[in-house]
């Protein structure tokens, strides 16, 4: 058992050093590795498989919502990137430039896409002529590049994987509707599959996307009380349409500009899963998104019939669950520790005594609760246990989130809360950039969102004391 302990002890405890805990977990659970390319990470099988499950389920929701997938080039000519002024200002400082192709120096630099609004605009300009061509609701799954100075696995890296949806609509109303629809879809996905509750709201002008009229966001809290922006949905109005000349003839045969949106979620979600659900033994994966849902660990596997019965059980479970069996020569304790580090939602222990009594032991990863289950009803019982685990994980995440929101009505209270109460701080705001800047300067907290459910918890701005316009969620953020 000494060896088993060592494996677990190698993970720093969350309360001791959360940053180190995170680094330990992503490495020990074999989710990622560092690469020779500065700021770029390697998604190893355990990490990439989580992304595959996110893709599969989110993409199914997209398709039900009328989204069509496409694939656009990864390069953007500099002149195309420059067409929308705010957009290029926001992104130019952090893009990678291709200047040579084969043996030749390019006449025009190409940037590796940091996001693809400009390419979609260029396409829509060509394929949208009439109101009959609208709406266009396209999405692509791809990688994007943003030259980051400081990086952290899954949360911030120079290259990351994401989906980016880009739509064009006949009217402003339809565009706004799609913007909100996709934000709601994101929140529903995170709650249902990742067991992560979200606060939905609108970004302040300071925090909105470069070129957007309005940016909506879903935000949640990590175990250390810091906020994570988990998905955004932007309404561009007709700003890009005017910059790119995307016009259609309406039913009255008049030329109109289209109204556009874009929305994205990324591999950052893997970071959220880790930091919301993980514990001191490692990863804890929600059953619906876990690449492996059940790990069968044979006990005394050299004993006659044990491995054989374990494989019989695996074959049965394979039909309903993503099942693996650990038949390596490691000790059961070592296997338990590995299964826990990897966050596999259920472990099944099966030894000679169990087989004799026609039973097995199911252990929940999140609570470590043990269930002695008859082999005759293992499928039903396992389904129940996983369903309950998923539900409980969401309930605990909600409990954590809502118990880490505090209100502040004056600046002293606000600064104290940032310092001493990890989580979101609700406070009123006058709407002025100066106050946002001062708050960030004084406390490092930023405005996370103006929640859809607005309340008036005081009459004046928490910072300047002038009349308040909006309730804002503030917090330190990743």
Please give the residue ranges that form the binding site for its own copies (CB under 8 A): 33, 35-37, 40-45, 48-49, 51-52, 68-77, 80, 93-103, 109-110, 112, 119, 122-123, 126-127, 138, 142-143, 145, 147, 158-159, 161
| Smaller CB separation from its own copies, 147 or 400 | 147
Q: In terms of residues, how long is the chain?
A: 478
Tell me the closest approach of the beta carbon of residue 170 to its own copies, in angstroms: 17
Tell me the closest approach of the beta carbon of residue 132 to its own copies, in angstroms: 9
Longest dimension (CA), the chain: 81
CA–CA separation, 279 and 29 (whole Å) = 12
Tell me the closest approach of the beta carbon of residue 201 to its own copies, in angstroms: 30
Tell me the closest approach of the beta carbon of residue 43 to its own copies, in angstroms: 4
Tell me the closest approach of the beta carbon of residue 209 to its own copies, in angstroms: 19
CA–CA separation, 235 and 241 (whole Å) = 12
Q: What angle do CA 188, 50, 270 make, to 5 degrees?
A: 65
Edge to edge, what strands does the sheet with 405-407 contain? Answer: 68-69, 136-145, 159-169, 259-266, 227-237, 214-221, 199-202, 446-451, 470-475, 424-429, 405-407
Cis ω before 135 (30° cut-off from 0):
yes
Tell me the closest approach of the beta carbon of residue 42 to its own copies, in angstroms: 6
CB 160 within 8 A of CB 152: no
| Smaller CB separation from its own copies, 162 or 216 | 162
Tell me the closest approach of the beta carbon of residue 469 to its own copies, in angstroms: 36
| Smaller CB separation from its own copies, 127 or 433 | 127
| Smaller CB separation from its own copies, 143 or 359 | 143
Tell me the closest approach of the beta carbon of residue 450 to its own copies, in angstroms: 31
| Smaller CB separation from its own copies, 93 or 441 | 93
| Smaller CB separation from its own copies, 108 or 252 | 108
Measuring CA to CA, which residue among 278, 384, 322, 420 is closest to residue 56? 322
Eight-class DSSP state of 26? H
| Smaller CB separation from its own copies, 30 or 177 | 30
| Smaller CB separation from its own copies, 71 or 358 | 71
| Smaller CB separation from its own copies, 91 or 257 | 91
Instruction: Give the Å distances, CA to CA, from 415 to 225, 401, 431, 445.
Output: 15, 20, 19, 9
Q: Is 206 exposed, middle or buried (0-12, 13-18, 19+ CB in 10 A)?
A: exposed
CA–CA separation, 336 and 212 (whole Å) = 49
CA–CA separation, 423 and 427 (whole Å) = 13
Tell me the closest approach of the beta carbon of residue 395 to its own copies, in angstroms: 32
Tell me the closest approach of the beta carbon of residue 125 to its own copies, in angstroms: 10
Tokens of 393: 């994980």
Q: What angle do CA 58, 29, 224 make, to 5 degrees?
A: 75
| Smaller CB separation from its own copies, 244 or 263 | 244
CA–CA separation, 409 and 457 (whole Å) = 7
Q: What angle do CA 423, 429, 432 make, to 5 degrees?
A: 125
Q: Which helix H or strand E contains 105, and what residues bound it?
A: strand 104-112
Neighbours of 434 (CB within 10 A): 10
Measuring CA to CA, which residue among 264, 258, 65, 260 is closest to residue 175? 260
* Axis crossing angle, helix 2-9 with helix 332-341, rounded to the nearest 10: 10
Tell me the closest approach of the beta carbon of residue 220 to its own copies, in angstroms: 25
| Smaller CB separation from its own copies, 45 or 305 | 45
| Smaller CB separation from its own copies, 311 or 400 | 311
Tell me the closest approach of the beta carbon of residue 278 to its own copies, in angstroms: 22
Interacting residues of 296 by C-beta distance below 8 A, sequence separation 6+: 310, 313, 314, 317, 323, 324, 325, 326, 347, 348, 350
């Amino acid at each position: 058992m000494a060896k088993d302990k060592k494996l677990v002890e190698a993970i720093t405890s969350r309360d001791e050093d959360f940053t180190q805990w995170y680094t330990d977990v992503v490495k020990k659970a074999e989710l990622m590795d560092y690469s020779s390319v500065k700021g770029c990470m390697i998604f190893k099988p355990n990490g990439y498989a989580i992304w595959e499950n996110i893709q599969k389920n989110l993409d199914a929701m997209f398709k039900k919502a009328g989204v069509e997938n496409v694939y656009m080039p990864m390069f953007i000519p500099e002149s195309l990137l420059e067409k929308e002024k705010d957009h290029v200002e926001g992104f130019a400082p952090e893009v990678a430039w291709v200047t040579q192709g084969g043996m030749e120096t390019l006449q025009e630099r190409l940037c590796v896409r940091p996001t693809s609004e400009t390419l979609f605009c260029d396409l829509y300009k060509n394929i949208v002529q009439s109101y009959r061509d609208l709406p266009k609701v396209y999405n692509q799954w791809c990688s994007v590049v943003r030259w980051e100075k400081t990086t952290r696995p899954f949360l911030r890296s120079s290259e990351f994987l994401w989906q980016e949806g880009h739509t064009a609509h006949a009217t402003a109303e339809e565009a706004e509707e799609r913007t909100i629809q996709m934000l709601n879809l994101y929140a529903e996905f995170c709650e249902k599959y990742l067991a992560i509750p979200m606060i939905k709201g609108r970004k302040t002008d300071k925090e909105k996307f470069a070129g957007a009229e309005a940016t909506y966001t879903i935000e949640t809290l990590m175990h250390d009380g810091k906020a994570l922006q988990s998905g955004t949905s932007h309404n561009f109005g007709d700003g890009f349409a005017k910059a790119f000349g995307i016009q259609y003839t309406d039913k009255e045969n008049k030329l109109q500009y289209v109204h556009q949106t874009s929305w994205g979620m990324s591999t950052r979600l893997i970071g959220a899963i880790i930091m919301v659900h993980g514990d001191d033994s490692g990863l804890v994966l929600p059953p619906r998104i876990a690449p492996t849902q059940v790990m069968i660990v044979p006990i005394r596997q050299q004993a006659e019939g044990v491995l054989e019965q374990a494989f019989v059980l695996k074959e049965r479970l394979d039909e309903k669950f993503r099942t693996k069996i650990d038949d390596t020569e490691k000790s059961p304790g070592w296997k338990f520790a590995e299964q826990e580090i990897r966050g596999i939602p259920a472990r099944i222990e099966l030894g000679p005594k169990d087989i004799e009594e026609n039973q097995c032991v199911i252990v929940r990863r999140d609570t470590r609760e043990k269930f002695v289950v008859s082999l005759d009803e293992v499928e039903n019982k396992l389904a129940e246990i996983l369903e309950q685990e998923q539900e409980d994980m969401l309930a605990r995440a909600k409990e954590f989130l809502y118990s880490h929101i505090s209100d502040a009505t004056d600046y002293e209270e606000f600064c104290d809360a940032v310092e001493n109460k990890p989580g979101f701080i609700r406070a009123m705001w006058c709407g002025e950039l100066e106050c946002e800047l001062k708050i960030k300067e004084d406390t490092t907290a930023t405005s996370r969102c103006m929640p859809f459910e607005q309340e008036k918890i005081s009459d004046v701005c928490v910072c300047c004391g002038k009349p308040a316009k909006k309730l804002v969620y503030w917090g330190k953020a990743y």
